[in-house]
Amino acid sequence: MYNQIKEKINSVIQKNTPESVLFSGGVDSSAILYHSHQYNPDVMGITVGVKGKASSDIEYSKIVADELGIKNHHIYYVEPEQIKAMVETSVKLLKAFNPEWISSTTTLLLGTMYAKSKGLNSISSGEGADDLLGSFPFFTNWKGSLETLDETIKTRLKEIVVMSDLIAKSMKMKYIAPFQDETVKEEILSIPIKERMRQDVGITTKYPLRKAYEGTLPRACITRPQTMAFTGSGVYDTIRSIQDDISPQEYVQACQEIFQFKSKFEYALFKIYQKHFEFKQQEDGKGCIHCGCGMGGNTINCKTCATLQVGGKELEFSGRT
């Protein structure tokens, strides 16, 4: 039933086969690596991990690489201090200070830098699948109608920035984006929202994509619990330690004088953001419901703090509204 998804992704990669794939061992990147390996047996799968930390990405990527016969699988262990040193670059690239997005960008940035250091000129990733298939927590915990959820997903797809593309361009590399391709997007979005959000035994997110690759990818990959790029790699917890330098007094004062930050971590990233960009709140009170900035032409996704907001309510990444 969902075989068309696989065919569309295959077609994109057949026309533009990457030299490397940012590879977490999740179903999105594993699908891309599977097709890429068909057309380029030397394709490099790159898995980012934090030195000294356990990583589910490394665990699952080893399973997938072994079962698919991917010989050119590189695990890039990064020192915690090196990761923290990359945060400022991520903030400058994304022009935002959202903790989840900055952590994701840093993970993707490190993997892309590794590919560049190996002399490769093109890279791919599974970025975009989580939005298309509604697998982020603020979608899976949606309390409204499915019709409104469908509209929200489609609007967000028009407004979000493709991190991997920004990163690749900054390094003069080509980014191949199967889940950003219009034929792939159209195919997935043509599936009724109820089916896209369907859950089954062992499958709680991305049902159509997981079913499309059932029997092609290892079972462990198909049933792997949903993880984000920054959690599976261990990067989020590493970066979060930058908040340790902020005193409780400074944090309370910032919340009173600027806006109510969600955490010391967000405030720490905001301080970096402010070094490079002007932070200007909209005076008429019609800006972002979290940070107060103008939405920059967006309607539901703030360009500055990446807060998703629908109907005057904030949808937190944890799924709480």
Whether 307 shows a pLDDT value over 80: the answer reads yes
The pLDDT, as a whole number, for residue 176 is 96
Among 35-39, 72-76, 142-146, 284-288, whose mean pLDDT is lowest?
Answer: 284-288
Residue-wise burial string across 286-308, b where 16 or more C-beta atoms lie within 10 A, e elsewhere = ebbebbbbbbeebebbbbbbbbb
Where in the sequence of the chain do the CATH 3.40.50.620 domains occur? Answer: 3-237
Across the chain, mean pLDDT equals 94
Domain covering 3-237: architecture:
3-Layer(aba) Sandwich (3.40)
Collect all residues with Cβ–Cβ distance below 8 Å to 242 and sequence separation of at least 6. 84, 87, 265, 268, 269
What would the pLDDT profile of 79-132 be if each residue is shown by its tens digit? 999 999 999 999 999 999 999 999 999 999 999 999 999 999 999 999 999 999
Dihedral (C-alpha) 26, 28, 32, 38: value to the nearest 10 degrees? 60
Pairing state between β 174-176 and 308-310:
unpaired
> Average pLDDT, stretch 264-273?
98
Among 65-69, 217-221, 313-317, whose mean pLDDT is lowest?
Answer: 313-317
> Average pLDDT, stretch 191-215?
95
Whether 232 shows a pLDDT value over 80: the answer reads yes
pLDDT band at residue 321 under the 50/70/90 scheme: very low
Whether 52 shows a pLDDT value over 80: the answer reads yes
The one-character DSSP state at 124 is E
> Average pLDDT, stretch 217-242?
90
The pLDDT, as a whole number, for residue 318 is 65
Amino acid at 88: E
> Average pLDDT, stretch 51-64?
93
Among 97-101, 181-185, 227-231, 256-260, whose mean pLDDT is lowest?
Answer: 227-231
pLDDT band at residue 317 under the 50/70/90 scheme: confident
Distance CA 96, CA 100 (A): 11
The pLDDT, as a whole number, for residue 320 is 37
- Mark residue 134 as left, alpha or beta (left: phi above 0; alpha: psi -120 to 50; beta: remaining): left
pTM: 0.94
The pLDDT, as a whole number, for residue 319 is 42
Pairing state between β 20-22 and 44-50:
parallel
> Average pLDDT, stretch 182-195?
96
> Average pLDDT, stretch 60-72?
97
> Average pLDDT, stretch 53-77?
95
Residues above pLDDT 70, as percent of the chain: 99
Query: Is pLDDT larger for residue 138 or for residue 246?
Result: 246
| Radius of gyration, alpha carbons of the chain | 19
pLDDT band at residue 230 under the 50/70/90 scheme: confident
